[in-house]
Structure 1
Amino acid sequence: MEAATASSGFGSGLGLARSSRRPSGRSPIRHSFPHPPCPASRSRLVRSGAPLTWSVVAAADPHQHQQQVELEGAPAICAAMEPERGSPREVREEITRCYELVSRLGRGAVYLGSSRVPATHPHFHQTAELAREIAKLLDCTTWTGAGPGLMDAANQGALEADKPVGGFKIGKEAGEWTTSNFHPYLPSESYHTCRFFSARKHGLVDAVVRNNATDKTTDKTVIVALPGGIGTLDEVFEIMALIQLERIGSTLPVPFVVMNYDSYYSKLLEFLNDCKDWGTVAPGEVASLWKVCNGNYEALDYLAQFYDVPAGERNFAISPPPKEHRTSYTMTI
């Protein structure tokens, strides 16, 4: 899932709505800019094909928490600016809604991956296959950021397995504007559109925490890191830190699987190995936090062993790779 910038993390752009005060009754004050006058995460704009000039219309009421952005030289197109966070209570309330969704749909497999991978890419098909088989193997809910790309592939795989799907959507995924807060095909009761990125992360973490100490065969969960960019790496390293600090897995361990499709993460793994020589990580530290897998069968076999799934229930609908093609990446730290 690619990271969207939290709208709560920015101020009010250039502060024009606050500083451009004017007596009522006068015409709006316009300020022209060659680029949008505010961070991209603070607005949702629709552009026509014609060259456009950005301008801000200052609010008549200086206390009004909205601005309008007009596009000159085009049909009347405008978008309301998202209001700033008014208090920490708003974030807490959204986190609560995320927790309630997890409680209703159940914990399970959380997928982190790129929103930019098209449906024609081999990694898309591999992800759909993996999500389908994990959903059947662990009999669990599949959780994603409810976005496009590999997140969508995981959703499709789980739906093919006829297992529940949940998600925490964000208004913007890397590389594209989302013009609607609604998912194109998931029912609205199966996902929550988050205003704050921190709430989205809380929801995804809560979806994998195992806390049923009386029966270790239930609440089977897994974190799956698929190929991704900045947002995915942000989530991957945050999950690593939470596991390292025993914020996740302190009661019951949670498997963390890194899918190294086509050696996608090999250079990152080499860097982490180098960190041992610099003394910034301890020997064996990183290897203890996750399992690096080069293919789907390897990941499924690892999860089946992790949860002691009986051999008769390991009915993977994929074939193991030929022995001559089996490779594994060995972490030395």
Structure 2
Amino acid sequence: MSPNEDRKIREKFKQKTWNEIRTNDSWAIFKIMAEFVEGFERLGKIGPCVSIFGSARTKEGEAYYELAENIAYELTQHGYGVVTGGGPGIMEAGNRGAARGKGTSVGLNIELPFEQHDNPYIDSDKSLDFDYFFVRKVMFVKYSQGFVVMPGGFGTLDELFEAITLIQTKKIGKFPIVLVGRKFWSGLIEWIKNTMLTEGNISENDLDLISIVDTKDEVLDVINTFYKKYSLSPNF
């Protein structure tokens, strides 16, 4: 364990003085508020966008990288912008495809001790940096009209289940959630069906919140079909 990790654990057991609370915890509110204000002001006019989630570790040339780039490109050709986490891997592929399609390309970057760095395919005025994961996740769900989830790790699962939970609890609209890669996601979906549903922790209707596909055409079909029901389409 690194000295920094050790310090963070020990600090949780330390009884803070009133002065420490005021100078550290209370003042953090203003940093959080500043991140919300900047996010709301800069993203409020980006227009219809789809968030693409996925692993930062996926390399250029790998199948899912190429697929994510092509999905993003096709989204821009149908009038959607693309929002990603702003970093490497699937995020870079998403922004790269959006840039190739001359569409809106947004990056919501988070400062991490590893993996994360800005990719070069984000619109210069649409790159935001966050210290707080929860503020960043608010921006993802507030300014997205759909979610495309590529294979990824814990962060991808966090973003996926955040979107599902908010839709399930009717905190946001029932926007389409599309999982890409049946082979990758099938084990998770089977566990949700055979364990969560069987135990009564979710309802049968909750399974309808998710679509699972393999191709870019299927992704576009899910999103376009959903919005046709409401006679809605992006503005070109």
Q: TM-score, normalised by structure 2?
A: 0.82
Q: 1:240 to 1:136 in 2, by over 3 A?
A: same
- Paired position in structure 2 for 1:172: 112
- Paired position in structure 2 for 1:121: 62
Highest relative contact order (Cα 8 Å, sep 6+), 1 or 2? Answer: 2
Note the alpha carbon deviations across 1:116-136, whole angstroms, 9 max, x for none.
Answer: 000121000011111111121
Q: 1:244 to 1:305 in 2, by over 3 A?
A: same
Note the alpha carbon deviations across 1:171-199, whole angstroms, 9 max, x for none.
Answer: 127x5364xxx554535421111121111
Given candidates 139, 147, 158, the residue that maps to 1:203 is 139
Helix, strand or coil for the counterpart of 1:224?
Answer: strand
Name structure 1 gaps, 5 residues minimum: 1-34, 43-62, 64-82, 209-220, 314-333
- Paired position in structure 2 for 1:95: 36
- Paired position in structure 2 for 1:319: none
- Paired position in structure 2 for 1:308: 228
Q: 1:39 to 1:307 in 2, by over 3 A?
A: same
In the alignment, the residues of structure 2 paired with residue 207 and residue 93 of structure 1 have an alpha-carbon distance, to the nearest angstrom, of 18
Helix, strand or coil for the counterpart of 1:172?
Answer: coil
- Paired position in structure 1 for 2:157: 233
CA contact (8 A) 2:56 2:116 kept: no
Displacement of 1:85 after TM fit?
7.3
Given candidates 24, 36, 60, the residue that maps to 2:2 is 36
- Paired position in structure 1 for 2:215: 295
Q: 1:283 to 1:118 in 2, by over 3 A?
A: same
- Paired position in structure 2 for 1:144: 84
In the alignment, the residues of structure 2 paired with residue 306 and residue 186 of structure 1 have an alpha-carbon distance, to the nearest angstrom, of 27
Q: 1:127 to 1:94 in 2, by over 3 A?
A: same
Given candidates 84, 89, 96, the residue that maps to 1:156 is 96
In the alignment, the residues of structure 1 paired with residue 107 and residue 188 of structure 2 have an alpha-carbon distance, to the nearest angstrom, of 28
Structure number with the higher helix fraction is: 2
Identity %: 27
Q: TM-score, normalised by structure 1?
A: 0.59
Helix, strand or coil for the counterpart of 1:166?
Answer: strand
In the alignment, the residues of structure 1 paired with residue 83 and residue 32 of structure 2 have an alpha-carbon distance, to the nearest angstrom, of 21
Helix, strand or coil for the counterpart of 1:111?
Answer: strand
Helix, strand or coil for the counterpart of 2:30?
Answer: helix
Q: Of the two, which has the highest radius of gyration?
A: 1
Q: How does 1:1-333 map to 2 (within 5 A)?
A: 36-39=2-5, 86-137=27-78, 139-172=79-112, 175-176=114-115, 178=117, 183-184=119-120, 186-208=122-144, 221-249=145-173, 253-259=174-180, 261=181, 263-274=183-194, 275-286=196-207, 288-308=208-228
Provide the aligned C-alpha RMSD in A. Answer: 2.5
Q: Number of residues paired by the alignment?
A: 214
Name structure 2 gaps, 5 residues minimum: 9-18
Helix, strand or coil for the counterpart of 1:86?
Answer: helix
